[in-house]
Structure 1
């Protein structure tokens, strides 16, 4: 059997035999299971395609597995408090966790705790990185979503307190979930709240683009990869599909099912805790407190598969299957270090060591697109002048060689023409 391209990874709060399970996306068959406790909501993370991480339900511990070693925890990371959410940057360099009202940020390859961001006033409920790892967004029970520029958070001056790039403050009740779209710093961000609204923001400016009001509290939210649709999981078990390409789309609207793409997926009997969409945008995955995970066909709105669990589903995601997930003898390229619990002071670290961190260069003034284009043109011209035009005898010799080659090619072309003419005019 060939390794699947995409897999489903789920966890629930009631299983006694395993923490999380891997299913085949198209057949629904169980492929792997990882042992050791239970995972809390919004904490299941695939790190760099080589490790699986999740926060222990009801404990201040993060469990870590090597992706191919399903039966053995590599290590446990003790945190200062209960981890309410966990995420990793897509480039695999940074790990962020919400602990009470603070966001903790670690450097993966050294295990150093780089920053503790205490800008929320109540517990952090959700964390997500942008696809280019340049920003991350945190949402909390204080009704706020904060946009953080990674380069401003990673700094060596401990006297400087990082500030968020934008404060998104239009919700009136706690934020339950958020999702970052594609396009890096130009992405759109969707936030869901107990105030029965989902809001879409422009990350670069912090401006509100769209606010959709529902009849129920919204517990989960996601985009499809092309951002044609917004999927919102309700507290009543329904999943609402909002079209983002409607001709009549205004900034503030109430959800109504219609023929313009606003539809409802019906099947769950309790609140929908998590949503995920396949890479091609044709399949929607949902997890619910009714102890099931459902796979939906987006076009027909039909549930094509139901995966039963032992308790309320806490996490359900569709991910690209790592190459070594099904190779028991493989090992991670870089093993995980011991993660520090103290800011800029790793346990057992050597005094006087210097750490150069990626991303610090972006703190400088960024060039405009025109400046970058001028710089690129200058470099291209410099290379052309040096390699083609040059100076001295070397250039003259090269020009002579090229002229001789041109004459040779002209002769070959003439011979081919004469030969073709003779063939065409030869009497049959």
Structure 2
């Protein structure tokens, strides 16, 4: 087992702590992160090697802890427009994506600027995931719709002179309507844009797609409602959590010949130990330990080869999050020196703040105060209009370049 990894968990009870850091080999608690309320499911992330970020259930608040400190950072205020359904931080720790009701908010962390606000789902967003290289953002909702955005398309809107209302919503890379009921979880592989990703839904299906093209690769039909999903780093073994508390394993090294496959419960590998719905799953870096969190108040670590229980951690309430994390030095340092800069989050986009127009020098021109004011105003108006035209042209050139790049990438993959 890995001694260079920790396990962090959270539950619906925040009496003792909001989240707890464990040595999962010995079950010794390393840190109790307090005073952050109850952490919502799918609302716990690490910001690099510096901070723990969570969203408080039922409140429009994000809480941040330095990794070495058990108390919430008081000098960082992250207030949301409304309570978060889910959140994700990009792999480079530059952008924060938050699902609030049916909308997606994207913030630039070091400045706090709201980059864009998107709404394609008709019902509340249930999960958000970045690809491992940060190029894609996947969004799923209760309406069963899966949306894939190119992150560069989302961030490019902040460099356009036009307002978000004028330019409209960003066009997704693709939209999938394969699920007939709410999507409960997404897992994305570790191979960047060449990865696969999996979704599970209340319609009892697990679907696997190509990240780059959105092409459906395999549909697995189970006999129970599916609630969570994860697969190992090579994408050889798939694990899905169910409503009844079992964890089902499926071998992707020898996939079925048909694109749709009905999974026979008797012939598949099953992890049995939980009594209620599986809320979350995670694998360690070595792909030899699986961790599961359930509504039965237990977190269980499993040995993959034998499917035997290694450790059980009992909580006072249903589990909301489980996650493996490397044993960073900042967990134990006394002098905390973060590399990531965090600012308060803006609640609306202000495109006018991105522009600075040089002052026109008029000392050598003899004009009255009124004429000078009108002259400056006219120059400013002309410059703004020209700036707008240039940005529209640049945006069109950028879109054309992206389309050419995508076509070349697709053709290379097919070859």
Please give the secondary structure, in 1, of the residue aligned with 2:85: strand
Matched, 1:31 2:20: no
- The number of aligned residues is 361
Checking the alignment, whether the CA contact within 8 Å between 1:11 and 1:39 is kept in structure 2 is yes
The separation in 1 between residues aligned to 2:31 and 2:22, in whole angstroms, is 7
Matched, 1:304 2:305: no
Distance 1:142 1:329, change over 3 A: same
Aligned to 1:394: none
Aligned to 1:278: 284
CA RMSD of aligned residues (A): 2.4
Please give the secondary structure, in 1, of the residue aligned with 2:330: coil
Checking the alignment, whether the CA contact within 8 Å between 1:177 and 1:193 is kept in structure 2 is yes
Aligned to 2:131: 130
Gaps in structure 1 of 5+ consecutive residues? 355-359, 373-428
Matched, 1:253 2:252: no
Please give the secondary structure, in 2, of the residue aligned with 1:43: strand
Q: Pairwise mapping of residues 4-403 of structure 1 onto structure 2 (< 5 A)?
A: 4-36=3-35, 37-74=37-74, 75-154=76-155, 155=157, 156-157=159-160, 158=164, 159-160=166-167, 161-246=169-254, 248-257=256-265, 262-344=268-350, 352=356, 363=399, 364-365=401-402, 368=408
Please give the secondary structure, in 1, of the residue aligned with 2:331: coil
Distance 1:249 1:278, change over 3 A: farther
Q: Which moved more, 1:6-15 or 1:242-251?
A: 242-251
Checking the alignment, whether the CA contact within 8 Å between 2:24 and 2:311 is kept in structure 1 is no
The separation in 1 between residues aligned to 2:350 and 2:86, in whole angstroms, is 22
Deviation at 1:207, TM superposition (A): 1.1
Checking the alignment, whether the CA contact within 8 Å between 1:190 and 1:199 is kept in structure 2 is yes
The ranges of structure 1 where at least 4 consecutive aligned residues each deviate by more than 6 angstroms after the TM superposition are none
Please give the secondary structure, in 2, of the residue aligned with 1:82: coil
The separation in 2 between residues aligned to 1:170 and 1:247, in whole angstroms, is 20
Q: Give CA-to-partner distance per residue, 1:351-397, whole Å, 9 cap, x none.
A: 7399xxxxx9975345547x99xxxxxxxxxxxxxxxxxxxxxxxxx
Deviation at 1:322, TM superposition (A): 2.4
Gaps in structure 2 of 5+ consecutive residues? 359-394
Query: Structure 1 length as normaliser, TM-score?
Result: 0.80
Q: Which of structures 1 and 2 has the bigger CA Rg?
A: 1
Checking the alignment, whether the CA contact within 8 Å between 2:94 and 2:108 is kept in structure 1 is yes
